[in-house]
Amino acid sequence: MYQIEDPDENTPLLRDDPNSDDVRDDDSQSRWRSIRVMYFTMFLSSVGFTIVITSLWPYLQKSDDGADATFLGWVVAAYSVGQMAASPLFGLWSNRRPRREPLVCSIFINLSANIYYAYASLPATGNKYHILISRAFVGFGAGNVAVVRSYVAGATSLKERTNAMANMSACQALGFILGPALQACLSFLGEVGYTVEFVQLKLNMYTAPALLAAVLGVVNILLVVSVLREHRVDDDGRRVPPINYLSEDEDMAEETVDSLAVFTSNVLFFVVMFIFAVFETIATPLSMDMFAWTRREAVFYNGVIICCIGFESILVFLAVKVAAQRVGDRPVLLAGLAIIFCGFFVLLPWGNSYPKIQWADLRNDSSVGRTWSNGSFEPTGCPYDQTWCQYTPAVHLAQYISSDFLIGVGYPACNVMSYTLYSKILGPKPQGVYMGWLTASGSGARTLGPVFVSHVYTLLGPRWAFGVICGTVAAAVALLAAVYRRLVAFSVRHGRTVE
């Protein structure tokens, strides 16, 4: 891989590269301030997603009796469908116009959708569909991730790129930490909470996180409007004109991009995001089924677990920055996929212990799983209508925690290396549309992942669900090995630098 000159391995995670090619430029401070706004936008994007993810299932159950685990898959997927539709559009918009425009528009859509989510339980009927639609619009607003990635890729030199992408991923991980942590903190409001009569708003453990995400969206808009400026540099760090002033000849550079490498990068990113979508979707239903947790316990404990995974991810990003400098981006990506495989393999059920069954048709049997919660008995355990519960061994808590730890190592490494490699493969050309397709690829995975796992898990159980995931990861490793030599930076491919 391209060797970074004079790497500073001890540079703090969010500190700008002191050896930047234009660090003494008058424009440098403005450039890095703008990049930090992009970091913050990525941070808030992940907060907006994770702040409700652990409470989404119990919110559905409480709001609409007709919602089941299969519908949960569609609700989680709705976010990604919206993001998949919006990402290429916002990417194209950012190639032709100042990036401030698509960013402000997308953030406003996002905060409005979060307010809609808070009111989704208010109508007398069809509440689950209101939740689904609101999550789709939250995802549509999150299509600005393509703009964020293209901006950071275009505003950094090749030797700054890995550090900047790792920083951005660290901010994303911080969002994954803070989102569930805020949800866990707000769980003290309970399911009933308070009612704000003059706006007919129910403020409880389910709606408060979405409203907080809306407030953070307002802060994000103010920062984008007041701080963000257009900056662009080439692979060597020299300033070039903003994208919307590029000549037609320079814009034709796309014909020299390695199409196979671009396609492979999209496929690998799809697999990485598919895997994580499966993990985040199934966490709450799996823990409620296997450990007989109540809705409130599942929200709290999974919030704490995801929070811990987020902290773990930050340590991984620190390690990734050093590892990528020493061995290159591709080996780190390969190692991350291998660790993810181990994470899902560990989760496969085994042994002679079976989950407690939730016999909903019995009332007085002492073996029935029921827990006193919020003034009433709440059925707990594995639902009797999921027939696999009666013959599939339980997933032990130790397995669950071990899997969380391994996935918390493998996923962030794969995530940051996937789009770092992708941005290097594309080179100095405008990347808005291409980043839009990469984000759409990830969104497609986040659409199919929840639908896949909710159906397979509900009908066939964890053995089939996690077994298929292991096979998918193994196929991704084989693909990466087959195309390994093609996944190189644009400047390396054209002989401007050496690996």
Go through the domains of the chain in sequence order and give each one's CATH number: 28-365+379-493 (1.20.1250.20)
End-to-end CA distance of the chain: 4
Query: d(Cα 147, Cα 38) in Å, to the nearest integer?
Result: 9
Q: Are strands 357-358 and 370-373 parallel, antiparallel or unpaired?
A: unpaired
- Of the candidates 203, 109, 108, 174, the one whose C-alpha atom is nearest the C-alpha of residue 309 is 174
Top-confidence residue, 187 or 210: 210
Q: Under the phi-then-psi rule, with left for phi > 0, alpha for psi from -120 to 50, and beta for the rest, what region is 317?
A: alpha
Across the range 355-377, mean pLDDT stands at 55
Question: What is the share, in percent, of the chain residues with pLDDT greater than 70?
Answer: 85
Angle at which helix 432-460 crosses helix 397-426, to 10 degrees, equals: 160
Q: How confident is the model at residue 116 (pLDDT cuts 50, 70, 90)?
A: very high
Q: How confident is the model at residue 243 (pLDDT cuts 50, 70, 90)?
A: low
Residue 5 has pLDDT above 70, yes or no: no
Whole-number average pLDDT of the chain: 81
Residue 219 has pLDDT above 90, yes or no: yes
Across the range 230-246, mean pLDDT stands at 67
CA distances to 44, 136, 341, 408, 474 from 338, in Å: 30, 32, 5, 13, 8
CA pseudo-torsion sign 285, 290, 296, 299: negative
Chain centroid to CA 70: how far?
21
Residue 496: the pLDDT is 58
Residue 25: the pLDDT is 58
CA distances to 63, 107, 189, 244, 274 from 374, in Å: 15, 36, 12, 57, 35
> For the segment 32-77, what is each residue's pLDDT rounded down to a tens digit?
889 999 999 989 888 887 888 778 888 888 888 788 777 887 887 7
> For the segment 252-292, what is each residue's pLDDT rounded down to a tens digit?
444 477 889 899 999 999 999 898 888 877 888 898 899 98
Residue 246: the pLDDT is 45
Is pTM beyond 0.75? Reply is: no
Residue 299 has pLDDT above 80, yes or no: no
Residue 218 has pLDDT above 90, yes or no: yes
Residue 499: the pLDDT is 52
Residue 122 has pLDDT above 50, yes or no: yes
> For the segment 429-452, what is each residue's pLDDT rounded down to a tens digit?
667 788 888 888 887 887 788 778
CA pseudo-torsion sign 113, 117, 118, 123: positive
